[in-house]
Chains A and B, each alone.
Chain A
Amino acid sequence: MTLPIPTAILRGFLLVLALFLAPAVNAYAAEPDLLEPEKAFAFSARVVAPDAIEVRYLIAKGYYMYRDKFRFSAEPATVQLGEPKLPPGERKKDEFFGETEVYRGDLRIVIPVSSAGDGRFTLKAVSQGCADIGVCYVPVEQRAELRLAAAPGNAAASGSSTIGEDTLIADLFRGSTLWLMLSFFGFGLLLSFTPCVLPMVPILSGIIVGQGAKVTRMHGFMLSVAYVLGMAITYALAGVAAGLSGAMLAATLQNPWVLGTFALVFVVLALSMFGLYELQLPTALQSRLAEASGRLPGGRFAGVFVMGALSALIVGPCVAAPLAGALLYISQSGDALLGATALFAMALGMGVPLLVVGASAGTLLPKAGPWMEGVKRCFGMLLLAVAVYLVSPVIPVAVQMLAWSALLMFSGVYLRALDPLPPHAGGAARAGKGLGILLLVAGIAYLVGGLSGGRDVLQPLSGMRTGSAVAAGGPVAFQKVANERELEAAIAAAAGKVVMLDFYADWCVSCKEMERYTFTDPAVRERLAKMVKIQADVTTGSADHQALLRRFRLFGPPGIVFFDASGREIQGLRVIGFQPAGKFASVLDLALGAR
Chain B
Amino acid sequence: MTPLRRGLLVAGLGVLALGGGVIAQLWRLGILGADAEATAGEAILAHRYQGLDGKPAQLDHLRGQVLIVNFWATWCEPCREEIPMFIRLRREYAGKSVEFVGISIDQAVKVIDFAKEYRIDYPLVLAGIEAVELSRLAGNKAGVLPYTVILDRKGRLAERMLGKVTEQDLRQSINPLI
Which A residues lie at the B interface, using CB under 8 A?
A: 1, 3-4, 6, 9, 12-13, 15-16, 19-20, 23, 27-28, 31-32, 34-37, 69, 94-96, 128, 130-131, 133-138, 203, 206-207, 209-210, 246-248, 251-253, 255, 257-258, 261-262, 264-265, 268-269, 272, 278-281, 286, 289, 303-304, 306-307, 310-311, 313-314, 316-317, 334, 541, 550
Q: A228 CB to closest chain B CB, in angstroms?
A: 15
Q: Are A13 and B15 in contact (CB under 8 A)?
A: yes
Q: Are A34 and B18 in contact (CB under 8 A)?
A: no
Q: Are A4 and B5 in contact (CB under 8 A)?
A: yes
Chain A residue at minimal CB-CB distance from B129: A138
Q: Given A136-B145, A307-B7, A257–B24 Cβ distance below 8 Å?
A: yes
Contacts of A281 in B (CB 8 A): 1, 5, 8-9
Which of B48-56, B92-100, B131-139 contacts its partner? B131-139
Contacts of B10 in A (CB 8 A): 203, 265, 268-269, 279, 314
Q: What 6 A-B pairs have minimum CB-CB distances, sorted nearest first?
A: A206-B3, A258-B21, A310-B11, A314-B14, A261-B17, A34-B142
Q: Given A12-B12, A286-B1, A313-B15, A134–B164 Cβ distance below 8 Å?
A: yes
Chain B interface size, as a band, is 35 or more
| Residue B80 lies at the interface, judged by CB distance under 8 Å to chain A | yes
Which B residues lie at the A interface, using CB under 8 A?
A: 1-26, 28-32, 36, 73-81, 105, 114, 129, 132-133, 136, 139, 141-147, 162-164
The A interface is mostly helix, strand or loop, or mixed, namely: helix
CA distance A269 to B12 in the complex (A): 12
Chain B residue at minimal CB-CB distance from A264: B17
Q: Are A27 and B23 in contact (CB under 8 A)?
A: no
Contacts of A4 in B (CB 8 A): 4-5, 8
Contacts beyond the supplied A247-B29, A268-B10, A280-B6: 6 A-B pairs with Cβ under 8 Å? A130-B76, A258-B25, A261-B18, A307-B7, A313-B18, A317-B18
CA distance A207 to B6 in the complex (A): 10
Q: Are B141 and A334 in contact (CB under 8 A)?
A: yes
Q: Are B8 and A135 in contact (CB under 8 A)?
A: no
Number of A-B contacts (CB under 8 A): 192
Q: Are A130 and B7 in contact (CB under 8 A)?
A: no
Q: B2 CB to closest chain A CB, in angstroms?
A: 5
Contacts of B133 in A (CB 8 A): 550
CA distance A272 to B13 in the complex (A): 14
Q: Are A550 and B136 in contact (CB under 8 A)?
A: yes
CA distance A251 to B8 in the complex (A): 27
Q: Are B163 and A133 in contact (CB under 8 A)?
A: yes
Contacts of B144 in A (CB 8 A): 34, 131, 135-138
Chain B residue at minimal CB-CB distance from A306: B8
CA distance A346 to B20 in the complex (A): 26
CA distance A390 to B115 in the complex (A): 61
The B interface is mostly helix, strand or loop, or mixed, namely: helix
CA distance A349 to B5 in the complex (A): 26
* From A31, A133, A138, A246, contact of B132 by CB (8 A): A138
* From A16, A27, A36, A278, contact of B15 by CB (8 A): A16
CA distance A541 to B1 in the complex (A): 45
Q: B116 CB to closest chain A CB, in angstroms?
A: 13
Contacts of B147 in A (CB 8 A): 135
Could you name 11 residue pairs across A and B whose Cβ atoms are closer than 8 Å? A3-B4, A9-B11, A36-B142, A135-B145, A136-B77, A138-B129, A206-B3, A210-B3, A253-B22, A261-B21, A550-B133
Contacts of B6 in A (CB 8 A): 206, 272, 278-280
Q: Are A16 and B17 in contact (CB under 8 A)?
A: no
Chain A residue at minimal CB-CB distance from B131: A138
Contacts of A261 in B (CB 8 A): 17-18, 20-21
* From B3, B22, B36, B81, contact of A19 by CB (8 A): B22
Give the most central of B1, B7, B73, B74: most A CB within 10 Å.
B7
* From A23, A31, A203, A268, contact of B162 by CB (8 A): A31
Chain B residue at minimal CB-CB distance from A100: B77
Contacts of A207 in B (CB 8 A): 3-4, 7
Contacts of B9 in A (CB 8 A): 279-281
Q: Are A203 and B7 in contact (CB under 8 A)?
A: yes
Q: Are A252 and B25 in contact (CB under 8 A)?
A: yes
Q: Are A96 and B15 in contact (CB under 8 A)?
A: no
* From B7, B17, B22, contact of A20 by CB (8 A): B22
Contacts of A23 in B (CB 8 A): 26, 31-32
Chain B residue at minimal CB-CB distance from A556: B29
Q: Given A134-B78, A136-B144, A136-B145, A262–B14 Cβ distance below 8 Å?
A: yes
Chain A residue at minimal CB-CB distance from B77: A94
CA distance A247 to B36 in the complex (A): 14
Q: B145 CB to closest chain A CB, in angstroms?
A: 5
Q: Are A34 and B162 in contact (CB under 8 A)?
A: yes
Chain B residue at minimal CB-CB distance from A22: B32
Contacts of B13 in A (CB 8 A): 265, 268
CA distance A402 to B103 in the complex (A): 61
Contacts of A130 in B (CB 8 A): 76-78
* From A31, A131, A203, contact of B141 by CB (8 A): A31
CA distance A16 to B18 in the complex (A): 9
CA distance A246 to B144 in the complex (A): 17
Q: Are B31 and A247 in contact (CB under 8 A)?
A: yes
Q: B139 CB to closest chain A CB, in angstroms?
A: 7
Q: B44 CB to closest chain A CB, in angstroms?
A: 16
Contacts of B146 in A (CB 8 A): 135-136
* From A69, A286, A314, contact of B5 by CB (8 A): A286
Contacts of B36 in A (CB 8 A): 27
Chain B residue at minimal CB-CB distance from A278: B1
Contacts of A265 in B (CB 8 A): 10, 13-14, 17
Q: Are B11 and A135 in contact (CB under 8 A)?
A: no
Q: B33 CB to closest chain A CB, in angstroms?
A: 10
Q: Are B11 and A311 in contact (CB under 8 A)?
A: yes
CA distance A258 to B21 in the complex (A): 5
Q: Are B163 and A255 in contact (CB under 8 A)?
A: no
